Structure 1
Amino acid sequence: MNTHHIIKLCDRCYWDTTTETIKLHNENVPLTSNMRKVLKLLITNYNKPISSIDIFFHIWENFENEYKPRNVRNLISNIRKRIPCLSIVNYYGGSYMLKKNRESHPLFSENLIDILDQAQNGITISDPNQNDNPVIYVNHAFANAFGYTPEEVIGKNCRFLQGDDRNQPALEEIRQAMQAFKDVTVTLRNYHKSGQLIYSEVTISPIFDKKTHKLKYFLGIQKDVTSLQQLIQQIKGMV
């Protein structure tokens, strides 16, 4: 059988370049005309970010139309819902990129926890299928950054890091993104066990089961940006 026109996107998910259709688990995924156009553009530009405005005019093909980023965001969101195994990444400034499928190596899988534990940024994994989305894994960098042992964090929702400092617009951004199963990156005021303020750049991503395509985990990555925020406050004070 001639399969040169078939592109593997992820596990048991294939794009037919001739018919511009997607088959997932041997079944065709219903796609609108605009979804096909976006997917074709993303697949043609694998691992390359494409600006929202380029996507907009590629789809609607009419430069008289008013550019609305919301239309592109909604279209990308609908594609993610229909094909959750796809890794479509958002970039700051309004760009999107389809990350190429990578086959998992057995040795990599066996050492995954060790790799995460040695990462420099804080990493958490939470389970949204349990009550209140508790943390089920933290790496050493996260525990060290906030002064807690992993045992003190596991089983809690990460909101405990904000303490009583709940009046943060970024928290609402996180809530909306998690409800929509979208990636989100914000800056939060978190607090060390000692009470010290820590500014954290937090990225949260939904993780889906490859077989059932249901939401399985939320992956959180926290980067300490306290020094940067302090510098910004100093500059503002000088102006």
Structure 2
Amino acid sequence: MAFMNAKTLIKLCDKCYWNPLTQTVIEDNHILVLTSSMTKLLAILIDHYDKPVSSVDIFFHIWDDYEKEFNPKSVRNLISNLRKRIPCLIINNYYGGRYVLKKYRDNVPNITDYVLEILDQAKNGVTISDPNLPDNPIIFVNEAFSELFGYTSEEVIGRNGRFLHGEDRDQISLKEIQKALQEERDITVTLRNYTKEGELIFNELTISPIFDKKTEKLKYFLGVQKNVTAIQKLIQQIKRML
């Protein structure tokens, strides 16, 4: 790397560096050719290392035209192309269409085998459903979900999440969810759900699509359930007093 000042380089992964002065990627002592859009994308992700960047900010940073209509699919495609060009990059997707480039760290253990265990210890309910199977059935629920609604995982897996609505199907949020699922985008709504014993729970539900990193095809829907019953009851009491 005689042509570079090693002190200015940022290590992206093994034998791969980012030169912030020239905004280029050096891999095995050679400059890796990137498109202009990829370079802009990588620059903003590195500038926000380990911090989420919204797809909206990425979109207008790259295309630099606020008259152009925001299109999250354009960002997803660009992220996918960058991943293919530099496979060692760790770019995580987060709720609400946000992306995080994780800093490269030597000797970091692979936590893939512990993902389900980590989800099981989450405080909020978590579900994973498979839209590639008939009726988008739930294929995973964590312990917090079972504690919240009173159903065991065996009673839930294989069913569509609509069973939690019971007979209470006249909810505007249900139509909003259906539209979001069809459009493969994130959504957060508050639903009236019911436990196994029939108790009403106001459930703040966030659904996020999970895409295959290589094909960018929809793979799963991740759902996070938060019990906001106490908050909703307080709001109703205040409304009655006013």
Give the alignment's TM-score, normalised by structure 1.
0.69
Q: Could you say which structure has the larger radius of gyration?
A: 2
Question: Equivalent residue for 1:100?
Answer: 102
Distance 2:159 2:126 in 1: 15
Q: Which residue of 1 is the match for residue 184 of structure 2?
A: 181
Q: Secondary structure of 1:141's partner?
A: helix
- Residue of structure 1 in register with 2:28 after alignment: none
Q: Work out whether residues 76 and 216 of structure 2, in 8 Å CA contact, stay in contact via their aligned partners in 1.
A: no
How many residue pairs end up in the alignment?
221
Contact 1:123 1:142 in 2 (8 A): yes
Residue 24 (structure 1) aligns with: none
Equivalent residue number for residue 209 of structure 2 = 206
Please give the residue correspondences for 1:36-115 in structure 2 after superposition, counting only pairs within 5 Å: 37=40, 40-49=43-52, 58=61, 71=70, 73=72, 75-76=74-75, 79=78, 86-89=91-94, 96-100=98-102, 105-106=109-110, 108-115=111-118
Q: Structure 1 residues 150-159 or 174-183, which shifts more? A: 174-183
- Unaligned runs of 5+ residues in structure 2 are 26-31, 84-89
Shift of 1:154: 0.8
Pairing 1:152-167 to 2, within 5 Å after superposition: 152-167=155-170
In 1, are the aligned partners of 2:186 and 2:208 still within 8 Å (CA)?
yes
Distance 2:173 2:33 in 1: 35
CA distance in 2, matches of 1:96, 1:121: 20
2:131 to 121, 128, 132: 128
- AA aligned opposite 1:105: P
SS at match of 1:111: helix
**Deviation string for 1:69-128 (max 9, x for gaps)?**
x5265654554676689435455xxx955342678734x333333332232211111111
Task: Output the CA distance in 1 between the equivalents of 2:216 and 2:33.
Answer: 13
1:13-53 residue CA offsets vs partner (Å, 9 max, x unmatched): x98976779xxxxxx9997x777645643442234455788
TM-score (norm 2): 0.68
Q: Distance in 2 between matches of 1:208 and 1:52?
A: 15
8 Å Cα contact 1:146-1:192 kept in structure 2: yes
Contact preservation (8 Å) 1:205, 1:219? yes
2:226 is the counterpart of 1:223? yes
Using the TM superposition, give the Cα deviation of residue 197 of structure 1 relative to its aligned residue in structure 2, in angstroms.
1.2
Tell me how far 1:171 sits from its aligned partner: 2.3
Q: Secondary structure at the match of 1:87?
A: strand
- How many Å apart are 1:234 and its aligned residue? 1.5
The CA distance in 2 between the partners of 1:90 and 1:112, in whole Å, is: 17
Note closer, same or farther for the CA distance 1:7–1:135 as it changes in structure 2 (3 Å cut): same
Determine the C-alpha separation between the residues in 2 that align with 1:52 and 1:207.
Answer: 15
Judge conservation of contact 2:201–2:229 (CA < 8 Å) in 1.
Answer: yes
The alignment-based identity, stated in percent, is 51
1:117 aligned onto 2:120: yes
Looking at structure 1, the residues matched to 19 and 136 of structure 2 have their Cα atoms a distance apart, in angstroms, of 38
SS of structure 2 residue aligned to 1:187: strand
Provide the secondary structure at the position in 2 that maps to 1:71: coil
Task: Confirm or deny that 1:237 pairs with 2:236.
Answer: no
